[in-house]
Structure 1
Amino acid sequence: MSHETISQSISIVHPISLSHGKNAEVWDTTGKRYIDFVGGIGVLNLGHCHAGVVEAIRDQATQLTHYAFNAVPHAPYIELMGRLTAFIPVTYPVSGMLTNSGAEAAENALKIVRGATGRTAVIAFDGAFHGRTLATLNLNGKVAPYKQKVGVLPGPVYHLPYPSADNGVTCAEALKAMERLFSVEIDVNDVACFIIEPVQGEGGFLALDSEFAQALRRFCDEHDILLIADEIQSGFGRTGQRFAFSRLGIEPDLILLGKSIAGGVPLGAVVGRKALMDNLPKGGLGGTYSGNPIACAAALATLDAMTDEHLHAWGAQQQHAIVSRYESWRAQGLPYLGRLTGVGAMRGIELANADGTPAPQQLAQLLGLARGAGLLLMPSGKSRHIIRLLAPLTIEPVVLEEGLDILEACLKQLD
C-alpha cells in the first residue's frame, strides 16, 4: 500500500498495514496475525474492540455524533466529567476539562498554571515526553527528533535529572541539581510549576523515586509552585492501580490524562484542584471537538470496566508473567539482556552490551525478528534501546505467554 501521499516526516516502526484486531491480537492486510505488545502506544489497555466500548460507540452514534460543548452542553460530557473526577484518587475537590489528546491537555495545563500563579517558568525532567505540539516540545527532555529544525520554542523551560532506581539517578543527585538550578539559572519565585511523569514512557519506563516525589511535593508547597503529574501513558491501570502517582505517596495539583481514557477513541483531559481549574476567565478553556459525544461514551464504557479489582488483578497477572520470564532469561544468560524497568504491567526491557552501554542496533534487529515471528514491539529510551511492553491489560494469559515465548526466541537470535 502506497505511503506517497503521507508526510515522510512521520516515522513508522513497523512497515505493515493493519486490517483488524481483537483484544491483544491484530491482523495485517495480508491476513498475518500478530500478538500486540504495543497497544497503540499505551492507548489500548482494554484491548482492541472491547465489547463494552464498541457497544457504547454504536449506541452514541445513533443519538448524537458531535456537539461543541462550549456552544451547547451535552449529556455524555457532563456524565463523563462526573465519573472521571470521582475516579481520581485525591482528597481535594476536583474539576476538569476534556481535550482531544494528551498534548492538548498539557497545553491547557500550562495556561491554567500561568493564570493561577502569574508566573511562566516550567521545570521538566530529562527523558520526559509530554507531546508534539510546539509548547510541549520544549517540555520534552530529548532533542532528537522532536526539537530538531523547529527553531526557538516557547519557554522558559528548564530540565532536571529524573531520579529513578531504573536509571541510577538518586534522589540526592536530583535534589542537588535542583539546588544548583535555583542558585544559578532561575529565581524560584519565577517558577509556575514542575511537570513530571510518575513513570516515564518514552524515556524508557523509568519509575520515579518516591523519596524525591515527596521532597518535590514539599518544595512546591513551600514555594507556591504547582505540581503537574503526566499520567497520559501511566494512567488507567497500566501500573496495576488507577494512576501511578498513588504509589509515590503524593497528590499532584493537576493531572494530565489521555491514551487509554477512551478505549482507542481520541480523548484527553486535564483535571485537578477545582480552584485552579476555575481560575481562567470564561472562554479561556474549550475547543470544538474537545469532549466529542462518541469519545465520551467510549470513556464511560472504559471506566465501567476499570474497577479497582480488575486493575489490580490485570496488573498483578502481567507483572508476575513478565518478571518471572525476565528472571528466567537472566538465569539463562541471554545476550544483550539488560535491566527490567518500570512497575506493574508498565515494564521495559533494556538491551545492553556487555559493558552496560546501550545496544540500539540489537533492539532494531529484535523489532524485525519479532515482527517476522508474529509479535509487535515498541522501542523507547534515550538511545532507543529499551523495549516497552504495552500489551492490553485484558490479554488472555495464554496469548501473553505465547508473546513472551516469541520474545525469548528472538532474544536468543540477537548478534
Structure 2
Amino acid sequence: MRNGNDSTIAARVAALYRSDSRRVLATLIRLLGDFDLAEEALQDAFTAALAQWPRQGEPANPRAWLVSAGRFKAIDRLRRRARFDASREQLAQHLEMQRPESDDDASVEDDRLRLIFTCCHPALAADARAALTLREICDLTTEEIARAFLTPTPTVAQRIVRAKNKIRDAGIPYRVPDAAELAERLESVLQVIYLVFNEGYYASAGESLTRTDLSAEAIRLGRLLLALLPDPEVRGLLGLMLLIEARRAARLDAAGDPVLLEHQDRGRWDRAAIAEGCALVEQALGSGRFGVYSLQGAIAAVHAEAASAEATDWAQIVGLYDVLLRAQPSPVVALNRAVAMAMRDGPQAGLALIEAQLDAGELRDYPLIHAARADLYRRLARPDQARESYRRARDLSPEGAQKRFYERRLEILESAVE
C-alpha cells in the first residue's frame, strides 16, 4: 500500500477512473453477468477507493482492488434488494461462491475484447450497437451520444436499455466468438466503429459538418481492437480512418463550410497520420486476407500520396473501385467509381454512369449524387443543368453546413451568368 493525503489520493483515483474504468467495468460485467449491476458496482468501487485509500493507502494493484471491491459491493446491493426479491439472495449467494477468474492484465484485456463483441452483437439493432458501444466502451454519456447523432436523449437511452435487455433476455454470450463465427461477428464490430467514425467525420445533420470527438473515439476503438485482435481487416479499417482523418484540418474553410478534396490545401494534411495509415493499409493488403475496409484504405492512400488532384493516379483508383465494387456491390461505391472515372476519362464518362444510376432509380434522394452530377455539368459548361442538380442536392440536404455549401455553389453559377 502507498499512503498519501486526501487530495493526492483523490487525484490518483480520478486518473485511474479515466485510464482504467472501462477495463474494470468489462471485468465486472463478466463476473456479475449484468450491465446495470456492473455499472453500479463500478461507481461503488471508486467511491470506496476515495473513502478507504486515504486511510489505508493505495493498493499495489489498484485495478484488481477495484474489481474485488466492485464485486463485493454488488453482492451487498443484491442482499439489500433481497428483502423485496428472494431471487436476488440466490444470485448473491451464487456470486459469493464463484471463484473469480484471473485479474491479471491479459485477462482484463480479454474482458475488454469480450465486451466489444457483446456490444456489437448482430442480434442487436445497428443504432443500438453504436449507442451501447459508445456508452460502455468509450464512456460517453447518454447526452453526449445523443448530441453526436442529433437524436433526442430519451431515444438514445431507450436504445441502450433495449440493447441491454436483449443481451440479457436472449442470453447473448459474453465472449469472443470462436473461429467458425469470428468473421461474421468481426464484420459487425467493424461496421459499428466505421459508423461512429463516419458520423464524426461527415455528420448526417447539424450546423457543424464534423464531430471531432466522435471520430477520435472511433480511432481509439480501432486502436484498441487492433491491440486486442491483430486481424488484417482491423488493420485496414484503422489505416482507412487515419488516412481520412489526416485531411480534417483542410476540409473546412474559415466559415466552417466544406472544401472539396481537389481544392484542399494538402500542406495542411497530417503527414504523420498519413504515414501510419499507409503503413497499416500496406500491411493489411500484404496479408492476402483483406476486405472492403482495406480496399477503401488503399484508395485513400492513393489520394493521400498525390501532390494534387491532377497528379492523382486515377487509373489506380478506378481499378481499386472495380475490385471494391465486386466485393461490395453498392450504389454509393458505384457513384464513387463514376466520379473517379470522370477524373480519369473526362466528365462525360462519369456523367453517363451517374445518369444510368439515376435512371435505374438508385440514390435519387441522396444529395451527393446530385452534387456530383452538378459538378460534372459545370465542367461540361452546361450551367442550367448544373444549377438544377445543385438545387436538388440542396433541397435534399438537412439544414446546416452542407446545405449552405450547395447554396453557395448555386450563387457562384448564377453570378457567372450575370
Which structure carries more relative contact order (alpha carbon 8 Å, separation 6+)? 1
Give the TM interval when normalised to the shorter protein: under 0.3
Q: Higher strand share goes to which structure?
A: 1
TM-score between the two structures when normalised by the length of structure 2: 0.23
Bigger Rg, which one: 2
TM-score between the two structures when normalised by the length of structure 1: 0.23
Q: Higher helix share goes to which structure?
A: 2
